[in-house]
Amino acid sequence: VKKKASQYEKQAGKVAQAAVLGAGIMGGGIAYQSASKGTPILMKDIKEEALELGLKEARKLFAKQVERGKLGTDEMAERLSNIRPTLSYGDFGHVDLVVEAVVENPKVKDAVLTEVEGLVGEDTVLTSNTSTISINRLAQNLKRPENFCGMHFFNPVHRMPLVEVIRGEKTSDAAVGTTVAYARAMGKTPIVVNDCPGFLVNRVLFPYFGGFSLLIEQGADFQRVDKVMEKFGWPMGPAYLLDVVGMDTALHASEVMAEGFPERMAREGKTAIQVMVDNDRLGQKNGRGFYAYE
Ligand code: NAD
């Protein structure tokens, strides 16, 4: 991408009303972040329990801010009311930007994106928070691919400052600009990147995980590697970070990277990450990964 994120912003449309599809780990976090910074957001899921969980998490994060004296209780109620949970597409006609954050399955994403494209206005920007699916591939079934791009947040959304805005071959400058401006309004730092496996961050991160995996396959102690990387100055080591990301998620992403860059990323035999998944050590999500969690 030749232009910087800020150069696209000149063509940005205003996002007065946003929507997020999926109220899971990422969708809930995106709803909280948008609401917290003042942009009303519809949070749509297919399960009532997911909506309840998403709201509960948002309430918890707002309550923490109240505890720390950063937010009054009235303000908390006002910001929380910026999130409108819904099981229907009723109000999608008035949405300026949609972030799709449903399960990482291309067929489900295709179905959801084409469905929502038929309900929103002609100028509504559609984005996907996918980590591994090509933006050009998702654009294929859309009638207005120029209004579509990637908007890739990192977990946990409220803490991770970066957002990758992924420009597909057909994405217009205006759609990129609107997405960049919305990320900025959410208090994030957007970067505009081209569509490729791993986008930018995971292209750097996964060779690092691969290097770590090789080290422990050769007998290194994962806790010592973590300590060394912490002493090096990183906030956490690779084993702990893999526990946070989730071993199954990491395995899937490393397979996508290996397919995209076979000469650099493909490996013979089972990697340490694969062995962890085989042993149901998925990380923090199921209470046991490299480390054990309560
Ligand atoms: P999740 O499983 O926690 O949440 C997915 C939610 O989507 C669920 O609540 C599910 O009920 C809902 N859903 C499924 N079908 C739907 C539909 N048709 N309409 C509306 N909602 C529907 O998943 P997640 O971890 O939040 O991941 C969501 C997306 O974000 C994936 O594409 C993933 O690759 C991406 N992502 C995840 C992370 C991460 O660390 N978890 C980081 C960056 C990006």
Spell out the per-residue pLDDT of the chain, length 294, in tens.
Answer: 778 999 999 889 999 999 999 999 999 999 999 999 999 999 999 999 999 999 999 999 999 999 999 999 999 999 999 999 999 999 999 999 999 999 999 999 999 999 999 999 999 999 999 999 999 999 999 999 999 999 999 999 999 999 999 999 999 999 999 999 999 999 999 999 999 999 999 999 999 999 999 999 999 999 999 999 999 999 999 999 999 999 999 999 999 999 999 999 998 889 999 999 999 999 999 999 999 998
Are 85 and 206 found together in one domain?
no
The atom number, within ligand 1, closest to the CA of 115 reads 18
Question: Is 154 part of any domain?
Answer: yes
Among protein residues, the one with the nearest Cα to ligand 1's atom 31 is 104
Instruction: State the number of CA atoms in the 13 A half-sphere of 99 facing the CB.
Output: 34
CA of 98 to the centre of ligand 1 (A): 14
Are 120 and 162 found together in one domain?
yes
CA of 26 to the centre of ligand 1 (A): 6
Question: Is 292 part of any domain?
Answer: no
The yes/no answer to whether this complex scores an ipTM above 0.95 is yes
Calpha distance 194→200 (Å, rounded): 8
Are 249 and 152 found together in one domain?
no
Residue 1: the pLDDT is: 74
Residue 104: the pLDDT is: 93
CA of 83 to the centre of ligand 1 (A): 17
Going by DSSP bridges, is the β-strand pair 97-100/83-86 parallel, antiparallel, or unpaired? unpaired
Ligand 1: which residues within 6 Å by Cβ? 21-27, 44-47, 50, 101-104, 108, 112, 129-131, 153-155, 249
The atom number, within ligand 1, closest to the CA of 130 reads 32
Mutate to test the pocket of ligand 1, among 42, 86, 103 (most ligand atoms within 8 A of CB): 103
CATH code at 53?
3.40.50.720
Are 152 and 260 found together in one domain?
no
From 194, 217, 234, the end of a domain falls on: 194
| Structure tokens, 193 | 């990147």
CATH code at 208?
1.10.1040.50
Mutate to test the pocket of ligand 1, among 102, 133, 134 (most ligand atoms within 8 A of CB): 102
Q: Crossing angle, helix 238-245 and helix 222-232, to 10 degrees?
A: 100
The atom number, within ligand 1, closest to the CA of 54 reads 9
Instruction: State the number of CA atoms in the 13 A half-sphere of 163 facing the CB.
Output: 30
Residue 2: the pLDDT is: 76
Q: Which domain holds residue 125?
A: 5-194
Are 116 and 140 found together in one domain?
yes
Are 166 and 210 found together in one domain?
no
From 130, 163, 194, the end of a domain falls on: 194
Are 27 and 167 found together in one domain?
yes
Beta bridge partners of 163: 190
Q: Which amino acid is at 187?
A: G
Are 56 and 129 found together in one domain?
yes
0.80 exceeded by the pTM?
A: yes
Whether cis (ω within 30° of 0) applies to the bond prior to 145 is no
Residue 271: the pLDDT is: 94
Based on the structure, what is the number of domains in the chain? Answer: 2
Question: Is 293 part of any domain?
Answer: no
Question: Is 291 part of any domain?
Answer: no
Are 109 and 228 found together in one domain?
no
From 140, 162, 194, the end of a domain falls on: 194
Are 145 and 17 found together in one domain?
yes
CA of 103 to the centre of ligand 1 (A): 4
Residue 294: the pLDDT is: 85
Are 261 and 132 found together in one domain?
no
